[in-house]
Amino acid sequence: MKKNFTYILSIVLFISCSSDKIFKRTTISMGSTVEIQVRGVNEVTANKAIEASFAEVRRLDTLFSTYMTGNPMWKLNNTEADEIIVDAEMFFMLKKCDELWRSTNGAFDPAIGKLIDIIGFEKKSPHMPSQKEIQEALSKVGWKHIQLKEPDVLVKPSHVKISFNACVPGYAADRIANLLSNYGIKEYLINVGGEIFMRGKWSVGIQHPRKQNELIGVVNAIGKGISTSGDYEQYFKKNGKRITHIFNPVTGMPADECESVTIIANDALTADALSTGIFVLGPEKGIELIEKLNDVEGIIIDTTGAVHQSSGFVKYLSR
């Protein structure tokens, strides 16, 4: 699993609002930094819970990585069969992606592997393909080609490649939260490559995408997932214009209406996927979608620097 999140460590500031001792550990997995902070328990319990959490992240990376050969994700993408029987966890992820693809009207699409390949970000050689190349790729990609049959069957053409890279870090944060809770830990802050889930007295400061010393706001979203997508994560410039790694899966063109999108949702998986999809939709359609969704709030900085905030976002602002 590889998704460049090094930027996120500079755009979120974790603020402890308690004097209890904090146990904090980090590791590298899914191509990014995984950080866990817990408090309210003794050191032995904290270390056991955190080590189990790191093991869970490694398991998910092995299961869903598109950079490994022979793992379940590789087999799913390289079989010639039209109908593929998958395990319960894989089917859960497929169903969530199907729901999020539908709710964003296709703006979030985890089946655009061919388009990602020709753009070259994952190969560390990004460039703007020709319109002909984009159109050829679009004819071979898209969740529109995907069909799910309960309880465990995926139907897809062999040329369509699926990647959960835009939502697995959020899913990992959710899994860790469940695991820490099972250890009896009631206060924790989880950061999986920038996808956040927290319980207890923590606040997260979201930095402005263009102004390093300025925060958009400080939020306290207990029991919620928080995700930010931005045009500064990975990009290159062509003729002085910033070309972001987030491309519109419908048009094949780079999303160019937002500088950053921060989403708060009931789970980090949903927040992760929606931050990408809403970045593609742009501020007007993005806020319109947020207002329609239950238990989802967000704040968007457009490319003029204007701030667009959903009606309920204010309840999470601590200052």
Reported as a single tens digit per residue, the pLDDT across 169-209 is 999 999 999 999 999 999 999 999 999 999 998 999 998 88
User: What pLDDT, on the 0 to 100 scale, is given for residue 6?
Assistant: 30
Angstrom distance (rounded) from CA 38 to CA 180:
9
User: What pLDDT, on the 0 to 100 scale, is given for residue 105?
Assistant: 97
Phi, psi of 192, deg, nearest 5: -105, 95
The answer to whether 50 touches 25, Cβ cutoff 8 Å, is yes
Angstrom distance (rounded) from CA 268 to CA 299:
16
Closest CA to 301 of 205, 253, 231: 231
What is the model's pTM?
Answer: 0.91
**Average pLDDT of each block of 10 consecutive residues along the chain (319 residues)?**
34 58 96 95 98 98 94 96 97 98 97 80 69 88 97 96 95 98 97 96 89 89 95 61 78 90 98 97 98 98 95 91
Q: Which domains does the chain have, with CATH numbers?
A: 8-64+170-316 (3.10.520.10), 72-155 (1.10.3980.10)
Angstrom distance (rounded) from CA 177 to CA 181:
6
Q: Hey, what are 81's tokens?
A: 């069969």
Bond prior to 169 in cis (omega within 30° of 0): no
Q: Hey, what are 273's tokens?
A: 């996927």
User: What pLDDT, on the 0 to 100 scale, is given for residue 269?
Assistant: 98
Closest CA to 296 of 92, 38, 41, 104: 104
